[in-house]
Amino acid sequence: MLGGMQTSPTRPRLRLLATGGTIAGAQTGGGGRGYTAGALSIEALLAAVPQLAALAQVEVEQVARIGSQDMNETVWRRLAQRAQAAADDPAVTGVVITHGTDTMEETGYFLNLVVKTAKPVVLVGAMRPATAISADGPMNLYNAVAVAVAPESAGRGVLVVANDEIHFAREVAKTNTTQVGTFKSPNRGLAGLIHSGRLHYFGPTVRRHTAASAFAPLAAEDLPRVDIVYAHAGMGRELIDAAVRAGARGLVIAGVGDGNLPAAALAACAEAAKAGVAVVRSSRTGGGLVERNIEVDDDAAGFVSAEELNPQKARVLLMLGLTRTREPAALQVLFREY
Ligand code: GLU
């Protein structure tokens, strides 16, 4: 349902899609720690930032009201469809999506691949609930709207705004459990900075996204099951075998170091690949890239390297990629292009 705020022909129109998260979270007790994500309506959030009215005419749409740990393909599809509809509306300048921070990087990267538009699409969240001391949500929301209505934000793909920073959805990762500076873009760095609504971009993103993505707009077919298996010292093959038995069409390995895994697990992955399961090697380190054929013979085993994508983003690309091909070489091309 759409509900309008103030209207004026001179201010850009902004579509705000709300999904829940801490930015809409209310504390549950006096202790300051417990809270329920998504408890507040988007109208309550907007009321906390009356300054938004000077930036844009904000139209709100509540797409979901969940903690982002419950984000899944069903909600992603609805969100992608609503973001696409907003972007396709000639009267809308940009889109802001409020979202929990836990899985914001996955949703952001998914939308970066499936929404066909050059208009700004900006995800925003908060680390402190709306009722906390020094809640970070109001300023984050203000900055996100400023980014989404700025002409220089167009064509940069999906962006994440938090803590006075602008991140590319492809690059950003949540790196801290509770602190407001949780978001980092470890490999390629920030898209830019934003201070009280004033934008400073550093450079464009380099990979295919949004208007140039072959996965946009999102097709109707279901995405295949892709599981992530976390590697560790002493790891066996059991979880890999279990994922294959459970019907995984793809496996992303959160490998140690440069995407490595112990011999028994490696053998299980090679068997899975031979049986037609796509195996992508990523890293649990949180930075750097996984190259092919360093300590693992990817060519012989039929593996794909995730390059710079962390495991959760590699999973997103693999799910979409598997709707097009199961060939390791063709999947590898996707991991170089997106
Ligand atoms: N787990 C919640 C979520 O991701 C809270 C985290 C947050 O929004 O900061 O929605």
The pLDDT assigned to 5 comes to: 46
Stretch 189-217: mean pLDDT:
96
Domain-embedded: residue 203: yes
* CA pseudo-torsion sign 275, 280, 281, 284: negative
Is 175 designated active site?
no
CA distance 205 to 337: 12
Contacts (Cβ under 8 Å, ≥6 apart) of 270: 279, 301, 302, 303
Domain-embedded: residue 217: no
Is residue 253 within 8 Å of residue 259, measured between CB atoms?
yes
The pLDDT assigned to 6 comes to: 47
Nearest to 273 by CA among 331, 220, 215: 331
Stretch 2-27: mean pLDDT:
75
168 and 233 inside one domain: no
Ligand 1 center to 22 CA (angstroms): 5
The pLDDT assigned to 4 comes to: 44
Q: The domain spanning residue 272 has which CATH number?
A: 3.40.50.40
Q: Which domain-ending residue is among 161, 186, 212?
A: 212
Candidate from 33, 40, 68, 175 with most ligand 1 atoms within 8 A of CB, to mutate: 68
The C-alpha angle with vertex 152 and arms to 151 and 153, in degrees rounded to 5, equals 90
pLDDT tens sequence across 152-200:
999 999 999 999 999 999 999 999 999 999 999 999 999 999 999 999 9
Domain count, the chain: 2
pLDDT tens sequence across 86-114:
999 999 999 999 999 999 999 999 999 99
201 and 243 inside one domain: no
pLDDT tens sequence across 30-89:
556 676 766 778 888 898 899 999 999 999 999 999 999 999 999 999 999 999 999 999
Atom 8 (ligand 1): residue with closest C-alpha?
100
Atom 5 (ligand 1): residue with closest C-alpha?
22
Q: Which domain-ending residue is among 152, 180, 212?
A: 212
The pLDDT assigned to 1 comes to: 40
The helix/strand count (H/E) of the chain reads as: 10, 17
CA distance 131 to 25: 7
262 and 162 inside one domain: no
* Residue-number span of the structural domain to which 204 is assigned: 2-212
pLDDT tens sequence across 111-157:
999 999 999 999 999 999 888 899 999 999 999 999 999 999 999 99
113 C-beta neighbours (distance < 10 Å), count: 29
Q: The domain spanning residue 137 has which CATH number?
A: 3.40.50.1170
